[in-house]
Amino acid sequence: MASPDLNLLVTLDVLLAEGSVARAARRLRLSPSAMSRALARLRETTGDPLLVRAGRGLVPTPRAIELREQVGQLVQGGESVLSPVGKLDLKQLVRTFTVRTSDGFVENFGPDLIARVGAEAPGVRLRFVRKPDKDNTPLRDGTVDLETGVVGETTGPEVRMQALFRDRFIGVVRIGHPLTGGEITPARYASGRHICVSRRGLAHGPIDEALKAFGLKREIATIVGGFSAALALARASDLIASVPERHTGNLRAGLHSFPLPVATPELPVSLLWHPRLEADPAHRWLRGLVREVCAVLR
């Protein structure tokens, strides 16, 4: 069975609205003969005369009257689908965005981001989920709207990304710790007892590689899975935490921070999303807010 010609819906809508082949032809910029042929096709397709002569004019059949409202709604719906997206009304927007990120990002940037979202779009809710790995599958399958992190080799080539900021590791100790005074040399830093942060439970990282160049090795007293746990331990002991500076700004209040005495690679943190959401107005708005919040908290 051949598929129906959906263009006939527009023709039928105009014919039923005008009640005249000539007026419908002018409205659709067709010749009267072309409109007559279109009416003939509509009659054949629907199995109904649709418009019949009454004196000098045409009147709709009961079937045409029955179709009038339905056809009008279909045409309006099609026009809406094929029209450019209208201006986003943030005050009326009701939506939940899922953001996959680290605990450090939520703890440091989350409060300001939530406040900005609440002020501009009170019907929008943010759902933060933990990021245990760099697999971009959640972006592809649509379970995650946005993601933050360091772009790696496993990042899919189709994923869109934009740089947010560059982070660096710093040392953190409690107030009164021996490292709060005097020059911190590589040897002095390495001689303390350290907290290692690793989601995979590893006791070795870029800092250890940097110390190796000086012939030094730090003692790892404990391994934790997140920056907040490392800072909590440093606050209550003589252990040394080494954490990203910008990811932990709010969490380091009341602690002493210092630059590491060895060079470690910077961490370029980016915002990632799937191209299916590239042109979505609400998603664009949220991406802009994340960039603004990260730019302010330097």
Lowest mean pLDDT among 44-58, 64-78, 133-147, 229-243: 64-78
Domain extent at residue 163? 90-167+268-296
120 with 77, same domain: the answer is: no
What pLDDT sits at residue 215? 95
What pLDDT sits at residue 223? 96
Mean pLDDT of the chain: 88
What pLDDT sits at residue 127? 95
The CATH number linked to 67 is 1.10.10.10
254 with 189, same domain: the answer is: yes
CA neighbor of 149 nearest in space, from 135, 141, 158, 137: 135
Q: How many domains does the chain have?
A: 3
The residue to which tokens 């409690």 are assigned = 174
CA neighbor of 195 nearest in space, from 217, 221, 171, 218: 221
What pLDDT sits at residue 200? 82
275 with 195, same domain: the answer is: no
- Assess contact for 73 and 268: CB atoms under 8 A: no
| Across 65-92, average pLDDT | 76
13 with 145, same domain: the answer is: no
69 with 149, same domain: the answer is: no
144 with 288, same domain: the answer is: yes
Give the list of residues 6+ apart from residue 38 with CB closer than 8 angstroms, or none.
8, 11, 30
| Across 54-76, average pLDDT | 82
When comparing pLDDT for 90 and 27, which is higher? 90
Is 2 within the bounds of a domain? Answer: no
The confidence band for 174, taking pLDDT boundaries of 50, 70 and 90, is very high
| Across 108-127, average pLDDT | 95
For the whole model, what pTM was predicted?
A: 0.67
The CATH number linked to 213 is 3.40.190.10
What pLDDT sits at residue 46? 86
What pLDDT sits at residue 298? 53
Say if residue 242 is exposed, middle or buried (CB neighbours under 10 Å; 0-12, 13-18, 19+): buried
142 with 289, same domain: the answer is: yes
Beta strands 219-224 and 193-197: pairing type?
A: parallel
Is 254 within the bounds of a domain? Answer: yes
The confidence band for 79, taking pLDDT boundaries of 50, 70 and 90, is low
| Across 176-195, average pLDDT | 95
